Amino acid sequence: MEDASLPSYDPKGDANETKIKIICLGDSAVGKSKLVERFLMDGYQPQQLSTYALTLFKHKTQVGDQEVHVDFWDTAGQERFKSMHPSYYHQAHACILVFDVTRKVTYKNLPSWFTELRHYRPEIPCLCAANKIDVDYSITKKSFNFAKKHKMPFYFVSASDGTNVVKCFRDAIKAALAYKSNSTDFMDEIMKELDNMTLDGDSISSSGFDATEQEEDKESAAKS
């Protein structure tokens, strides 16, 4: 997965130009791709990376006096693509975690996405988007505990009619920028190294995502 053409997000760059990477996570068919497309409308050139399961959308925007280059990484929720997740998480600055309000199972799977995210990126800001509210607006009267419990900003969105999509993505960009400028976190440095190590080998196994193993990994990372 790792190849020289993959952009690097690490250098802080000069003061007026910043590169950030934002990833989208969630089950298959929750609307991750539609949300990115809605945010970018026609102003994007998607770029398929090595496998069709991964799409990179490039976006340029202005935040204050800063020119920000945002790469949105969109991957398929399909389980068989799990093995490529390490490179997906690599150097991400923020994450949008999506579920589908019409399908309970996608909400129930949030913890496992979140655990995987925290395994690779323990500190990056994560925003939660409840998509497809256009199907039945009464859902917006409900509160969802998952986001509250993990102190995530929560958005009711619709890729279809556009509700709150722009707000959610702009907040994600701001959060990513904030994270990048204060990212001196110790744990994060360790994870960066771990990420690099994982990427060097070509035998990334999907069993490594097992919940119990993850915990161990994290501990040994903290000790080393």
Partner 1 sequence: MSESIILKKCGVRFTPPALIVTYTNDVGKLHRRTMPLRNFNKNSGVSRIVQEMKENKRHEKYLRHMSPLQLEKLIMILHDRLNGISLDECVMRNKGLDTVDPEEDLNKLDDVTLKRKKEIMDATFEKNRKKREDPDFKYDVEVDFEQGAIESCEWDSDKESDEEF
Question: Which residues form the interface with ligand GTP (CB under 6 A)?
Answer: 26, 28-34, 76-78, 131-132, 134-135, 158-160
Binding partner 1 by CB under 8 A: which of 51, 166, 181, 201? Answer: 166
- The entry of Mg ion, ligand GTP, partner 1, none near residue 107 (CB within 5 to 8 angstroms by kind) is partner 1
Give the position of tokens 């990334």. 204
CA dihedral for 166, 167, 168, 171, sign (positive or negative):
positive
Task: Report the residue number, 162 or 201, with the smaller CB distance to ligand GTP.
Answer: 162
Task: Report the residue number, 67 or 134, with the smaller CB distance to ligand GTP.
Answer: 134
Binding partner 1 by CB under 8 A: which of 6, 29, 63, 221? Answer: 29
Residue 180: name the closest of 43, 8, 47 by CA. 8
Task: Mention every residue, 6+ apart, whose C-beta is less than 8 A from residue 119.
Answer: 209, 214, 217, 218
55 contacts 6 by C-beta, under 8 angstroms:
no
Assign 157 to helix, strand or coil: coil
The span from the CA of 195 to the CA of 159, in Å, is 32
Assign 73 to helix, strand or coil: strand
Can you read off the two tokens belonging to residue 33? 């791709």
- Scanning residues 3 to 62, which ones bind Mg ion (CB under 5 A)? 33
Residue 134 beta carbon to partner 1: minimum distance, rounded to whole angstroms:
4
Q: Give the pairing type, strands 54-63 and 66-75.
A: antiparallel
Binding partner 1 by CB under 8 A: which of 5, 15, 105, 223? Answer: 105
Tell me: does residue 160 bind partner 1 (CB under 8 A). yes
For residues 33 to 52, the per-residue mask of contacts with partner 1, x marking binding by CB under 8 A and - elsewhere, is -x------xx----------
Binding partner 1 by CB under 8 A: which of 146, 153, 190, 192? Answer: 146
121 contacts 175 by C-beta, under 8 angstroms:
no
Which residue ranges make up the site for partner 1 (CB under 8 A)? 27-29, 34, 41-42, 77-79, 102-105, 107-109, 111, 114-115, 132, 134-135, 139-146, 149, 156, 158-167
